[in-house]
Amino acid sequence: MSNTAKTVTLNMGPQHPSTHGVLRVILELDGETVVKAEPVLGYLHTGIEKTMESKLYYKALPCTDRMDYLAPMSNNLGFSLAVEKLMEIDIPEKVQWVRVCLAELTRINSHLVWLGTHALDLGAMSMLLYAFRDRESIVEMYEACGGQRMMTTYIRIGGLAQDIPKDFEKGIRNIIKVINNGLNDYETLLTNNEIFINRTKGVGVLTAEEAISLSLSGPMLRGSGVKHDLRKANPYTGYENFDFEVPVGQNGDAYDRYTIRVEEIRQSLKIMQQAIDGMPEGPYRAHVPGIVLPPKEDVLYKMESMIFHFKLITEGFKTPVGSVYQGIESGKGEIGFFISGDGTNKPHRVRVRTPSFINLAALPKMCEGNMFSDVVCAIGSIDIVLGEVDR
């Protein structure tokens, strides 16, 4: 560095406690003020999209868990819906209701981890533990459903991996109670906390125009006052049957995004309550021989089912030629799956539009001109998962 340099270049990450993984941000600092911020991606590149292109559709599904590992069910749902759209499969009503319930559960899961880590970034370390304490009930529900706490692969093409557990309803009701109690704790610790408000109000401001031009989605977009939620705008898997509000912010700062996410947890609880109250009876998988895996019980006792099972596992199903795009509203924003089928049993191209990746593009705009400490707050309020950024 020459003596005339006025700014200092600081390399934040890829190993840094608060870049949420292996994000690297090259900061140009003038004292404590950020002059320029440049996110550098690719340190967690796993080639998930490419891997999915070399796998049968059923076997590509588990890859989606590994992208946003904090919201596995949303990713499962997005991919399943895309394939179902491509294959034109009708889904039983019960499956749709269970999917809604689980997608909302996943949203809460994602938001809770966000809340904990964001607060930790700002120095409130107890919040992390409180959020994880309550998240435990959710991952236990995952375990009861699919046998896994994080990489669930529970929502499958054409239905679910297995029927919902016997005490599903009781479990969900318990979760609603636990999270409701937890929310009071979080709000007591943060919402009216002078220091928290000082740290987040007016930090990382994005106007509605900026948010739209950066093609942001999810709480990042709604924080800037744009009321856009795919569950309302373009309902999928039966969201039109549910009654809920879409919270929006006004100032587009980190505090608004915080209040929105907390309110979204409340709305998700409301949706889950409705889903559990009105859960219809029915099969847990669509009956589409040759495309959807037959139920395991049938495989053991029925000849045809066994044959279909064998064929599907070994050579999969052939898709029509054509491409589909299915976007869903995950906790972090719009996660969209573009699948191009070429008539074979493997996708020709899979492209995932992940919210973390696209929302991260707003980082320079949120940081520049602000203080160094605000970079941490800005990264936190975007809510990124690096597994999803570098697919």
Partner 1 sequence: MLEMILFASIKVIVVVIAVLTGCAYSTLLERKVVGHMQHRMGPNTAGPYGLLTPLADGLKLIFKEEIRPANVEKITYLLAPVISFVPAVLTFAVIPFGKDNTFFGKDFTFVLSDLNVGVLFVFAVTSLGIYGIVLAGWSSGSKYSMMGAVRSSAQMISYEVGYGLSIVGVIIIANTLSLRELVELQMGPLWGTITFLPNWYIFSQPLGFILFLTCVIAETNRAPFDMPEAESELVAGYHTEYSSMKFSMFFIAEYANMIAVSSVGATLFLGGWHGPFLDSMPMLSVLYFVIKVFLFMFFYIWLRATFPRFRYDQLMALGWKVLFPLALFNTLITAFFVIL
Within 4-33, which residues bind partner 1 (CB under 8 A)? 8, 10, 16-18, 32
* DSSP 3-state percent helix, strand, coil across the chain (nearest 5): 50, 15, 35
Q: How far apart are CA 349 and CA 380, in angstroms?
A: 32
- x-or-dash string of contact with partner 1, 150-189, rule CB under 8 A: ---------------------------------------x
| Beta-bridge partner residues of 160 | 155
- Selected from 23, 91, 119, 279, the binder of partner 1 by CB under 8 A is 119
Q: By CB under 8 A, which span of 39-47, 176-184, 339-347, 371-379 interacts with partner 1?
A: 371-379
Nearer to partner 1 among residue 199 and residue 257 (C-beta): 199
- Selected from 73, 113, 122, 350, the binder of partner 1 by CB under 8 A is 122
- Selected from 7, 191, 193, 251, the binder of partner 1 by CB under 8 A is 193
Cα–Cα–Cα angle for 129, 135, 136, rounded to 5 degrees: 95
190 in contact with partner 1 (CB under 8 A): yes
Strand positions, DSSP E, the chain? 8-12, 24-30, 33-40, 155-156, 159-160, 321-330, 333-342, 347-353
| Residue 10 C-beta: closest distance to partner 1, Å | 5
- Selected from 123, 147, 280, 282, the binder of partner 1 by CB under 8 A is 123
Q: How far apart are CA 144 and CA 171, in angstroms?
A: 9
Q: How far apart are CA 40 and CA 385, in angstroms?
A: 14
| Residue 187 C-beta: closest distance to partner 1, Å | 14
| Residue 233 C-beta: closest distance to partner 1, Å | 35
Token pair listed for 391: 């697919």
| Residue 116 C-beta: closest distance to partner 1, Å | 11
Sign of CA dihedral 299, 300, 302, 306: positive
- Backbone phi, then psi, for 86, in 5-degree steps? -65, -40
Q: By CB under 8 A, which span of 54-62, 120-128, 208-216, 219-227 interacts with partner 1?
A: 120-128
| Residue 39 C-beta: closest distance to partner 1, Å | 16
Q: How far apart are CA 104 and CA 99, in angstroms?
A: 8
Q: How far apart are CA 258 and CA 268, in angstroms?
A: 15
Nearer to partner 1 among residue 122 and residue 260 (C-beta): 122
Task: State the number of binding residues for partner 1 (CB under 8 A).
Answer: 30
| Residue 193 C-beta: closest distance to partner 1, Å | 7
* Closest among 297, 285, 291 to 313, alpha carbons compared: 291
- Selected from 126, 180, 250, 344, the binder of partner 1 by CB under 8 A is 126
Q: By CB under 8 A, which span of 43-51, 145-153, 321-329, 368-376 interacts with partner 1?
A: 368-376
Token pair listed for 145: 């459903």
Cβ neighbours around 313 below 10 Å, total: 13
- Selected from 180, 198, 213, 250, the binder of partner 1 by CB under 8 A is 198
* Closest among 163, 167, 170, 165 to 94, alpha carbons compared: 163
Q: By CB under 8 A, which span of 42-50, 79-87, 205-213, 373-381 interacts with partner 1?
A: 373-381
Question: Is 102 within 8 Å of 154 (Cβ atoms)?
Answer: yes
Nearer to partner 1 among residue 5 and residue 303 (C-beta): 5
Nearby residues of 170 by Cβ (< 8 Å), 6 or more positions away: none
**DSSP single-letter state for residue 346:** S
- x-or-dash string of contact with partner 1, 324-353, rule CB under 8 A: ------------------------------
| Residue 372 C-beta: closest distance to partner 1, Å | 6
Binding site for partner 1 (CB under 8 A): 8, 10, 16-18, 32, 119-126, 129-130, 133, 189-190, 193, 195-196, 198-199, 371-376
